[in-house]
Amino acid sequence: MTTTPPQQSGARFARSPRISSLPPRPHTWLRDSFCLGTTAVGASAAAPLFGYSALAMPAAAGLSIAAVYAGVAGKRKQLRDVDIDEVIDRLCPIVGLPEATRAVLSTSKWSRGWPGLPGKLTVHYDSTQALNDETWLADICGVFEDQGWGFFELDKHDPARRRLIFTPAAEPEREVSDSDQVVRAKRIIAQLLGPTATVTAIDVAAETGEVTSMEVRHELGPKLESDGYRTRVERGMSATLPGRWRARWNLETDWVRFEQRTAFPDSVWLPAPDLDPGADLLASYDSVEIPYGIDEDGNEVVWRPAIDPNLMLIGPPGSGKTVTAHNLLVNFSRRGWPIWVLDGKYVEFLGFQDWPNVQVVATTIEQQVALVHRARDLMEFRYQKIVTGEATEADFEPVLVFLDEWAEFRGNVEDWYSRAKPKGGARQPPVLSMLASMARKARTSRVHLVFGTQRPDAQYFLGDMRDNFAMRISMGRLSPQGALMMWQSPTIGTSVPRKCRGRGTTVTDNYQPIEIQCYRVPDPRKTHAGTFESDLLDTLRPPITRHPRLLIVPPDELPDIDATDDTSEPAPLTYFDYIEAEWVLASDRPDLDPVLRRAKMTHETDRRLASPTALLGLLGGRAEPTNEAAVELDDYRTPTAAGATDAASFLDQLSAPQLGESSAARGESSRARLALVKEPAAATEPEIPADGGAEVFDIPDDSPDTYEDQYGPVRDVRAADVALGDLLLMEDIDEWVVVDTDPEPDIIEDSLLSLTWRSDTDEFGDLALPDSSYVSIRKPIQVSG
C-alpha cells in the first residue's frame, strides 16, 4: 500500500481547476475494497479491478494494481494510475457500467512530464444504449478535460469491438457566459418590453464590456403604435444603461434594434472636395448633389435639384437659416451654377455680392421685384422655346434663385406698392402671386428656387406648393402647429435643441424627416484675413467665374408729357417701370456697382455712427464723443428727463408707438413693459384646459425666455394637462425643457404619468410623477397663417 503525498495531489489538481468544483464522487466501491486505505487519495490510487465480468481483467480480485506497480514503475506510473482510476470512476456510469472497472479505459502515448498526459484514450463500452444519448461523447470528453488531460475528440468508433478511440483536440470554442453588463441589459429589456422579450443579438465594446447595441424580439404588439410609448422605451434605455440610446422599430415583425447614439457635433464646416470648376452644366445637371449637412450617424444629406427642383428653408432668427442658405449658395457656385439672390433682409447676402457665379444680389425692394419678374420671365421664355420646338429642357443651363426672407419681402413690397401702384393696377402687387406658379415651372425651365422664410405659414403649403417644395429644411425648433405644416406631424422638429445652432430637420431620400446638423460656412463680409474662416473661404471660392455679375439699372424718371409749363413734376415711376428695369453687366456700369463702391470705402467707420442719434444728425461735427455728449445721451434715455431737449422728445415719439406705452407708463420698470407685450401673446395662445386651475404669471425679469421665443406666459398646470410641445420647468436643474411626447402612463410604474423631455442643449430624459401634481409650463403661441 502506498499513499500519495497530499502536496503532489494538490499540484495535479491545480492543472485542472474545474475538477475542484465537481461534486464528490461516490467511492463506495473503493471503500468496500480498501477499508484500510490511509487517505482518500491513497485509497483511490489503490483502486481494484473488479465486478464487471465481461470486462474483468486477469489480475483483478482484491489487489491494488496501483500498489503492485508502484514499487516497480516508480512514482510517475503511480501518479498516472491515480489519474486513470479517477477517470474510470466517472467514466463507468457514463458508458453504462454499473460498477467501476479498469477494463473501461486504456491509455497510451503518454507525454513526458510529471506525470505527463495521455495521447490516446480507448474507451470500452458494453451497452449500445448509451449511443442514443446525444451528449454521450461530450460527457466522456468532459471527464478527460476535468481530469486535466486537456481536450479530446473521437478519432474512431469501432462498433464491432465496442470501443471508442479519442485523441487530443484543439480547445473548442465555448459560449462565453454573459458579463454583468450583458445580464443587466437583458434584465432592463425584460422590464421595458416584457418578460417574453428575447435578445437575439448583442454587441459589446471590447475594451469596456459596455453593451453598445441589442436586437430584440418582443410581443408588445399594438402598445408600440404610440410614438410616446416607443420614446419612453428609448428613454428608459438611456436612463438605465450607459450612453444615449435610440431604437429602430419594425412594428410589423415585432423586432427592434437598440443602439447607442453618437452625439451631433456642435459645428461642421462645409467640406471642400475637389470639383471640376469647368464642368459642363448641361451634362452634369442630372447628377448634381448638394451636400448641406450630416445626420446623427455622420451620413451626409444631399439635395438633388434634378429630382426635387425647389427647396424650402424655414427658420426663426438665430437658428442658422442664413448660414444654411450661404452653404447652399457656395455649394452651387462651386458647381458653376449662376445664382440670383433676393435678400429680403437686404444685408444677409452682401458678403456674397462679388462671389464667383453669383450674378445678382437684389438689396432694394425695386431690385427685388424686378428680380422675381425676370426669373418668372426666364421661365416663361424657356417654356415658350419648348412649346415652339426650338429647345428642350435639356438645352437649358440651370439657374438657382434665392427668395430669402419672403415674409419680410412680402411686407415691404405691400408697403411700397401703395406708392408704386399704377393707375388701374391690381390691388395686390402681382409679384406676390407668382411664387406658386414659379415653383411649378422650376423643373421644366431649370430655374430652381430656394425659398426661405421664418415660419411655415399655411399659405406656403396650399395647392401643389407642398409637392413642389418636397425638399425642405426647418432650422431650429418648430411649434407643434408649424411641425404639422412642415412634416405633417405635431412632433417632428418640435424638440430640436434651441442652443444648438445649425441643427434642423430635413428629409431623407425617401422623404422621411430626420434631424441634421447643417454645414457651416463663414460669411465673407464678417471674416477677417488670416483667420481659419478666411482660409476656408479661399478653399471654397470657385477658381473661375463663369457667369458675370449683373446690375439692375434704376429706371429714369419720366417727363410729364401732359405738362404745359416748366414747373410740372415728372410723372412718378410705377410698378411696371421698375419691373422693366434694364439689366446690364456690372463691368459696363461701374458707376452703379455697389461692390466697387464698397471697395473704395476707407474701412474706417465714422465713430459717430455708433450713436443712434447719428440718424438725427445731432452729433455732427464732433468726431470724438466727449463726456458731455455721453451725458446728453444718458439724459435722452432717462425717463425723468423727458422733455429736456427736442432730441429727447423726438426719441420718445419714435419709441412710443412701438412700445405702446403711455408717458405715465414710461417711468415703470422693465417688468411692466414685459407685461404690456403679454396681451397679444395671450390672445393667440391655445385654449387653456377648462379645469380653471391654470394660473397665469408674469415672466420674471430674469427669465431667459421672452415672448419672442414663441411661448406664452408661465402657468402652473396638472401634469395630466401638459401637452407635447410645451415648455416645462425642470425645477431641480432650473431649466426650461420641451416636452417631446404627450404624457402617458409610465411604462414601469403605471400609476404615474411619464413626461419625456429634451433640453435646449440636447439633454433628454423622462419624468414620472402623479398626474395630479402641478408643474410649471409655457405653451407654444399659436401663429395664424
Contacts with ligand ATP by CB under 6 A lie at: 267, 315, 317-323, 475, 501-502, 518, 520
d(CA 22, CA 88): 15
**What's the min distance (Å) between Cβ of 466 and ligand ATP?**
23
d(CA 213, CA 543): 46
Q: How large is the angle between the packed helices 365-387 and 406-420, nearest 10 degrees?
A: 100
319 appears as a binding residue in the annotation: yes
482 appears as a binding residue in the annotation: no
**What's the min distance (Å) between Cβ of 454 and ligand ATP?**
7
Which H or E element spans position 649? Answer: helix 646-659
**What's the min distance (Å) between Cβ of 270 and ligand ATP?**
9
Per the CB < 8 A criterion, the answer to whether 408 and 439 are in contact is: no
Q: Which three cell numbers stand for residue 552?
A: 439692375
d(CA 13, CA 717): 71
**What's the min distance (Å) between Cβ of 411 and ligand ATP?**
15
317 appears as a binding residue in the annotation: yes
Let me know the angle formed at the C-alpha of 750 by 747 and 752, rounded to the nearest 5 degrees: 105
755 burial class (0-12, 13-18, 19+ CB within 10 angstroms)? Answer: buried
Let me know the angle formed at the C-alpha of 569 by 566 and 572, rounded to the nearest 5 degrees: 150
Percent of residues in the chain assigned helix, strand, coil, to nearest 5: 40, 20, 40
Q: Would you call the peptide bond into 115 cis, given omega within 30 degrees of 0 as the criterion?
A: yes
Residue with grid cell 402617458, as numbered in its chain: 744
**What's the min distance (Å) between Cβ of 508 and ligand ATP?**
19
**What's the min distance (Å) between Cβ of 412 and ligand ATP?**
15
Which residues, at least 6 apart from 90, have a Cβ–Cβ distance to it below 8 Å? 25, 143, 146
Q: Are strands 255-260 and 211-217 parallel, antiparallel or unpaired?
A: antiparallel
Per the CB < 8 A criterion, the answer to whether 593 and 605 are in contact is: no
Per the CB < 8 A criterion, the answer to whether 111 and 40 are in contact is: no
Of the pair 374, 501, the CB lying nearest ligand ATP is at 501
Strands (E), 405-502: 447-453, 471-475
User: Could you please report the per-residue DSSP string of 706-734?
Assistant: -GGGSEEEEEEEEGGG--TT-EEEETTTT
Of the pair 373, 477, the CB lying nearest ligand ATP is at 477
Per the CB < 8 A criterion, the answer to whether 607 and 625 are in contact is: yes
Which residues, at least 6 apart from 2, have a Cβ–Cβ distance to it below 8 Å? 42, 45, 46, 66, 67, 70, 71, 78
Q: Which three cell numbers stand for residue 340?
A: 440670383
Of the pair 82, 323, the CB lying nearest ligand ATP is at 323
Q: How large is the angle between the packed helices 627-637 and 646-659, nearest 10 degrees?
A: 40
Q: Which three cell numbers stand for residue 209?
A: 464590456
Of the pair 344, 713, the CB lying nearest ligand ATP is at 344
28 appears as a binding residue in the annotation: no
Let me know the angle formed at the C-alpha of 407 by 401 and 410, rounded to the nearest 5 degrees: 85
d(CA 104, CA 766): 66
Let me know the angle formed at the C-alpha of 675 by 673 and 681, rounded to the nearest 5 degrees: 120
Q: In this chain, which residue has its C-beta nearest to ligand ATP?
A: 502
Of the pair 299, 773, the CB lying nearest ligand ATP is at 299
Of the pair 12, 321, the CB lying nearest ligand ATP is at 321
Per the CB < 8 A criterion, the answer to whether 554 and 593 are in contact is: no
DSSP designation for 417: H
d(CA 537, CA 519): 13
Nearest to residue 240, comparing CAs of 765, 768, 769? Answer: 765
Of the pair 270, 371, the CB lying nearest ligand ATP is at 270
**What's the min distance (Å) between Cβ of 774 and ligand ATP?**
35
**What's the min distance (Å) between Cβ of 491 and ligand ATP?**
22
Residues in the chain: 785
Of the pair 333, 741, the CB lying nearest ligand ATP is at 333
151 burial class (0-12, 13-18, 19+ CB within 10 angstroms)? Answer: middle
Per the CB < 8 A criterion, the answer to whether 315 and 475 are in contact is: yes
Q: What is the separation of C-alpha 229 from the centre of its chain, rounded to a whole number of angstroms? A: 20
Per the CB < 8 A criterion, the answer to whether 768 and 749 are in contact is: yes
391 burial class (0-12, 13-18, 19+ CB within 10 angstroms)? Answer: middle
**What's the min distance (Å) between Cβ of 328 and ligand ATP?**
12
d(CA 525, CA 350): 7
Residue 677 has phi, psi (to 5 degrees) of -75, -15
**What's the min distance (Å) between Cβ of 517 and ligand ATP?**
6
Of the pair 314, 775, the CB lying nearest ligand ATP is at 314
385 appears as a binding residue in the annotation: no
Of the pair 408, 668, the CB lying nearest ligand ATP is at 408
Q: How far apart are the first and last CA of the chain?
A: 105
321 appears as a binding residue in the annotation: yes
Point out the annotated binding site for ATP: 315-322
